[in-house]
Each structure stands twice: as C-alpha cells, then as structure tokens.
Amino acid sequence: MNTAQRLNGIGEYYFSKKLREIDQLNREGRQIISLGIGSPDQPPHPDVVKVLNEESVKPNVHGYQSYKGSPVLRKAMAAWYRQWYGVELDPDQEILPLAGSKEGIMHICMTYINPGDLVLIPDPGYPTYRSAAALAGGNTTPYHLTEKNNWRPDFEELKNLLAKRRTGQDGVLMFVNYPQMPTGQLPDKKLFEDLVSFAKANQVLLVHDNPYSFILNEKPMSLLGIEGAKEQVIELNSLSKSHNMAGWRVGMLSGSKERIDEVLRFKSNMDSGMFLPVQLAAARALELSQSWYDDVNLVYTIRRKKVFELLQSLNCSFAETQAGLFVWASVPPASNDGYDLSDTLLKESNVFITPGGIFGSEGNKYVRVSLCTTEEKITEAIQRIKN
Ligand SMILES: Cc1ncc(COP(=O)(O)O)c(C=O)c1O
C-alpha cells in the first residue's frame, strides 16, 4: 500500500532522524555531547511527582477522562493565566487542556485549514508549524524574520503575502511565537498590539505558540493580554519547558468559547482526556510559586554563560538577552553556514549543535545551542572544541 499523498514533501522530523544518527555514533563509542534538543533535563518539582504517585495508586483514576480535561486542571490553568499573565479565562469555556502543544498545532491545522488555504509561517520558526499545516493541505508561506528587524515580522511583507489568498474573503491562519524559537527574541506590548491590529484588519486567525515565556524571561506575556485579542487569537501553552515536564505531555489551548468548541470538534475525534493523575499533578505544578521559576532559571543562567563561552570559542556572534532554552548565534565567516559548522563540530569534536537552517532559510547562517545539558558537559564540549 502506498503512503497517502498528504505525506508527499513531508520528511521524518529532523530530530527524529538526527537523534538516531547520534545514537549510532554513540554505539560506535563516540560519546557525543548533544546540545541539540530543548528537552529539560531537570525533574519537575517533587510535589508534582508526589501527586502523581499518590493519585495513580487509587483504584478509580484509570478510566477514560473528559475530552475537555479535568475541571481541576482547567481551573488551575485559568488561575495560572490570571496570576502570571494577568489574563482572565473562563475555565469551563475558554481553556482546552492538550496532550502537549505540538499536538495542539496539528489539532488547530485540522480544524481550520482547507486545501489551498494560505498559512503564514515564521522563517525561522518551529518546523512543526509548516509540516502540520502542509499535512492539512495548507499553502504554507513563510514570512521572514531577520536579525536586522530584531526577528520581528515585517508588516509590509505580511500585507503583500495576503495577496496570495484565493479570494479576499478567505480567512488566513498565521503562526506566531514569542519568545521566539529559535532566535530567543522577546516580545513587547507594541509588537503584540501590532499583531492583533493586523489580524483584525485582515481576517487573520493568529495562533500564538507560547511555551518559552517563563524561561530566562522576567516578564511572561500572553498575546491574549492585548485588548480584543480573544476574537483573533488562539494561544498554545505548555508545561514541557516551564515545569520540566516535556515527557508528561501537558499543554493547553486558550481562546474564545467559539474557538475552543471548534477545535474540540476535531480533537474529541482524535484523542481522549489525559490520565487523571497526570492532570492533577499538572494542576499542582501550575500552583508553584515564583521560587520554582527562579530556581529553574538560575540553572539556565549559569549554563548560558558557559554556552556563550563555547560560542566565543567558535567565533560565533550572538545577543546576550535571549529568552528560552537555547542560544541562537550567527556562524563566523569561515563557515559556509550552520550545517557546515554543525557537521564539522560533530565530526571533529563529537559535539552536536543544531544547524539554524532546519528552522527555515533565514536560519541558514546560524546555529542553535541547547541549555538542556549540565554545566559539566558544556565545559567538556568547550574543552573538546579547544583541543
Ligand atoms: C516553539 C515550540 N512550540 C512547541 C513545542 C512543543 O512543545 P510541547 O512539548 O508542548 O509539545 C516546542 C518544543 O520544542 C517548541 O520549541
């Protein structure tokens, strides 16, 4: 049987292949230090694990769960949005827990995109936006983020791209993500206001992907915090990075009741509610105080200094104010591009860093280094490079 046509042009996810290659090199005895993916290596708060343990031994928690998630989790999500972002959400109508925000990207694409619909994708950006929109049949069109423009959209370019709509009446989906991955660029209120007014003026549904707002960032912001945004914005969020729970698969989608109901029409046919003890433990995680975020960020701050040192030893240049789990840096003139530098490092120093080109052509001259490895390992990587 042949694979479906919708898979044409969709390759296996870069890291799915690359991690296999690194595994193989390790089996050959190479002991690669991987500074690739953004999977937090530290555990969740002990109280969170305690809730999971206590709840999972109960006899009555093993059945199917509500498609809309446990009310306890939805309430905790609403309280978290109020406390940290100053955004009011109705826990019964404006929040949908997700088994990970990556999955949510697919749910949104399947809910809104018809074959041929224009979908605006940040370049550089998280590769799943493009692949999920393409799987849904969308006409995926990159909008360019450049260092010169502080990795922000050029609204003139966006207006020009809207001309690619089949008719002036067509709705358009646009993915945005600040703090931006891979560039680490932070948002400010003006950027968010401009995005919402652009969306309002042009029938654009903004999908704001917001998993990094607590990492190396003192002022978490939600696009839903902009007045009138609920009509134009669906926001994805996640506990993967902020609470060291990437493997638990807990995320959320927030927006108006109409948007939540629309996505639920697709999602409830795709999956079921998460394991209840996971949901209750996630609710506990969302109640953690400032000191949790401070402790997590202290570790990343120390590692980031080391990563700066590593990048300096490679003659890369970078901004020191980036948020999120990575440092984004431009390659020195001696390297053709990020692929060249990444391949050379892997071959000569047994260190893996991600070539920026996997995030789009605007990332070609860059590399991305993850902070999800211990300080000792980063120090060892620097030694290997120097040797
Ligand atoms: C920008 C961005 N969005 C979404 C995700 C997916 O996160 P989750 O674990 O919630 O699926 C990632 C993960 O790396 C990411 O970098």
- Whether the predicted pLDDT of 169 surpasses 80: no
Pocket test for ligand 1, best of 126, 235, 245 (most atoms within 8 A of CB): 126
Nearest-atom number in ligand 1 for the CA of 324 is 16
Output DSSP code: residue 5. Answer: G
Query: Do residues 173 and 108 lie in contact, with contact meaning Cβ atoms separated by under 8 Å?
Result: yes
CA 277 to ligand 1 center in whole angstroms: 22
Q: CA 239 → CA 50, 172, 202, 251, 282, distances in Å?
A: 17, 28, 32, 6, 8
CA 131 to ligand 1 center in whole angstroms: 14
CA 383 to ligand 1 center in whole angstroms: 31
Q: Are strands 204-209 and 172-176 parallel, antiparallel or unpaired?
A: parallel
Pocket test for ligand 1, best of 16, 212, 240, 322 (most atoms within 8 A of CB): 240
**Residue 249: what residue type?**
R
Among 3-12, 78-87, 362-371, the minimum mean pLDDT is found in 3-12
Pocket test for ligand 1, best of 77, 101, 180, 235 (most atoms within 8 A of CB): 101
CA 29 to ligand 1 center in whole angstroms: 31
What does the pLDDT look like over 60-88, one tens digit per residue? 999 999 999 999 999 999 999 999 999 99
CA 70 to ligand 1 center in whole angstroms: 22
Q: What is the chain's length?
A: 387
What per-residue confidence (pLDDT) applies to 165?
Answer: 86
Helix or strand (DSSP H, E) at 147? none
Nearest-atom number in ligand 1 for the CA of 126 is 1
Pocket test for ligand 1, best of 223, 241, 242, 368 (most atoms within 8 A of CB): 241
Query: Do residues 235 and 81 lie in contact, with contact meaning Cβ atoms separated by under 8 Å?
Result: no
CA 102 to ligand 1 center in whole angstroms: 6
Nearest-atom number in ligand 1 for the CA of 240 is 9
Q: Which residues line ligand 1 (CB under 6 A)?
A: 38, 100-102, 126, 177, 181, 209, 211, 238, 240, 246, 251
**Residue 343: what residue type?**
D
CA 238 to ligand 1 center in whole angstroms: 7
Neighbouring CB atoms inside 10 A of 106's CB total 19
Confidence of residue 125 (pLDDT cuts 50, 70, 90): very high
CA 57 to ligand 1 center in whole angstroms: 30
Is 0.85 topped by the overall pTM? yes
Nearest-atom number in ligand 1 for the CA of 325 is 16
- Whether the predicted pLDDT of 164 surpasses 90: no
CA 314 to ligand 1 center in whole angstroms: 28
Residues 41-70 have a mean pLDDT of 97
Concatenated DSSP letters of 289-345: -HHHHHHHHHHHHHHHHHHHHHHHHTT-EE-TT--SSEEEEEPPTTSSSHHHHHHHH
- Whether the predicted pLDDT of 105 surpasses 90: yes
Nearest-atom number in ligand 1 for the CA of 241 is 9
Exposure string for 172-189, b = 16+ CB within 10 A, e = fewer: bbbbbbbbbbbbbbbbee
Residues 109-123 have a mean pLDDT of 96
Residues 289-300 have a mean pLDDT of 98
Q: How far is it, in rounded angstroms, from Cα 248 to Cα 269?
A: 21
Residues 229-235 have a mean pLDDT of 96
Query: Do residues 200 and 169 lie in contact, with contact meaning Cβ atoms separated by under 8 Å?
Result: no
Q: For atom 4 of ligand 1, which residue has the closest CA?
A: 102
What does the pLDDT look like over 263-290, one tens digit per residue? 999 999 999 999 999 999 999 999 999 9
Q: For atom 6 of ligand 1, which residue has the closest CA?
A: 102
- The three-class DSSP label of residue 93 is coil
- Whether the predicted pLDDT of 147 surpasses 90: yes
CA 296 to ligand 1 center in whole angstroms: 18
Closest CA to 191 of 206, 172, 173: 206
- Sheet-wide strand order for 233-238: 95-98, 251-254, 233-238, 204-209, 172-176, 118-123, 139-144
Q: For atom 14 of ligand 1, which residue has the closest CA?
A: 38
Bond before 153 cis per omega within 30 degrees: no
Nearest-atom number in ligand 1 for the CA of 246 is 9
Q: How far is it, in rounded angstroms, from Cα 385 to Cα 365?
A: 20
Nearest-atom number in ligand 1 for the CA of 105 is 4
Q: CA 366 → CA 34, 61, 169, 289, 305, distances in Å?
A: 17, 47, 38, 36, 19
CA 270 to ligand 1 center in whole angstroms: 19
Confidence of residue 18 (pLDDT cuts 50, 70, 90): confident
What per-residue confidence (pLDDT) applies to 40?
Answer: 97
**Residue 22: what residue type?**
I
Confidence of residue 214 (pLDDT cuts 50, 70, 90): very high
CA 211 to ligand 1 center in whole angstroms: 6
